[in-house]
Amino acid sequence: MSTQLREIIEGLSQEQKTISPKFFYDERGSRLFDKITELPEYYLTDAELEIMQNNIDEMAALIGKTASLIEFGSGSSLKTRILLENLADLAAYVPVDISEEHLFSSARQIRAEFPGIDVRPVVADFTRPFALPSPTIMPIKNVVYFPGSTIGNFKHETAMDLLRVMHDEAGDGGALLIGVDLQKDPDIIDSAYNDSAGVTAEFNLNMLRHLNKSYDANFDLDAFEHSATYDEDEGRVVIELVSQADQTFEIGNKEFAMTDGETILTEYSHKYTLEGFAQMASEAGFRVEKVWTDASGLFSVQYCIRN
């Protein structure tokens, strides 16, 4: 049994059934997420792009020349392209993703658009330590890049573990450039995770399609519905798949039963205060050097130096 299948079975065996959000990202899931970022309700993309466009010179100066840019969770993002267009003498761009097809497709596009950049894709689960490739030019420093609000998808303890992996991958003298979503009007948040076009619901349900295809499961997608609710006290969106009937399903030759209304937790999306994230980064070995926000204060991009 693979490590990933074991992890899925362990999560589904808990009292609160859980599947890690990393299993959203097969090729179709990656495409659906790209589609989510273009939705009018999804404020995060426009806010982050505003920050990147208005502050790119300062970001590039902090990253400096001959750095290796290591992107956790590689996508086809405009934000990455803004960075690559403005980083002089980049030693290498290292996109890291668990979805091999999507990763290599994105890497080919980046090579075509930026033929002068040494692109070194790495297929890996970035929540665990992984080996970095050796670029042609030795980088002066490693800068881990984690755009979007993905850090918020992890519970505090797991987010801390991920930040520590980033700390290790950055190495001596390295840094972290990270997107951090901020606490705000709950109505804005609710609309972003329950879009009128139903793309987020499709993205959530696609996780089960992915498990059916890749892990020989037999989920009935019609027997589940998407749910996303904002818990203001905890500062997080709780994203779940809700069983619409008493049912059973199998994965890895193990059968599971669910009752009508029972849920599978697929994702949290934590919203931070600036002080709260700075404290978490500090505990993982980073010091927040610079914070940029959009004009409305919805989102932040933060540059953190490795202690």
The three-state secondary structure class of 183 is: coil
- Of residues 136 and 291, more confidence is placed in 291
Provide, rounded to the nearest whole percent, the portion of the chain with pLDDT above 90.
Answer: 85
Phi/psi for 32 (5° steps) reads: -65, -40
Phi/psi for 245 (5° steps) reads: -165, 165
Confidence class of residue 92 from pLDDT cuts 50, 70 and 90?
very high
Query: Residue holding tokens 């693979």?
Result: 2
Looking at the DSSP bridge assignments, the partners of residue 263 are: 242
Number of C-beta neighbours around residue 295 at 10 A: 9
Average of per-residue pLDDT across 89-104 = 90
Tokens of 265: 């937790």
**4-47 per-position pLDDT tens digit:** 999 999 999 999 999 998 899 888 998 999 899 899 999 999 99
Average of per-residue pLDDT across 48-67 = 96
Look up the pTM and report it.
Answer: 0.86
Per-residue confidence (pLDDT) for residue 58, from 0 to 100: 98
Average of per-residue pLDDT across 80-95 = 93
**190-241 per-position pLDDT tens digit:** 999 999 999 999 999 999 999 999 999 999 999 999 999 999 999 999 999 9
* Domains in the chain with CATH codes: 43-184+271-306 (3.40.50.150)
Per-residue confidence (pLDDT) for residue 144, from 0 to 100: 97
To which H or E segment does residue 142 belong? strand 141-146
Average of per-residue pLDDT across 114-142 = 93
**131-182 per-position pLDDT tens digit:** 999 888 899 999 999 998 889 988 899 999 999 999 999 999 999 999 999 9
Per-residue confidence (pLDDT) for residue 291, from 0 to 100: 98
Spatial distance between the Cα atoms of 267 and 128, rounded to a whole number of angstroms: 18
Confidence class of residue 101 from pLDDT cuts 50, 70 and 90?
confident
Per-residue confidence (pLDDT) for residue 306, from 0 to 100: 94
To which H or E segment does residue 176 belong? strand 175-181
Per-residue confidence (pLDDT) for residue 27, from 0 to 100: 87
Burial 187-218 (b: 16+ CB within 10 A, else e): eebebbbbbeeebbbbbbbbbbbbbbeeeebe
Phi/psi for 170 (5° steps) reads: -65, -35
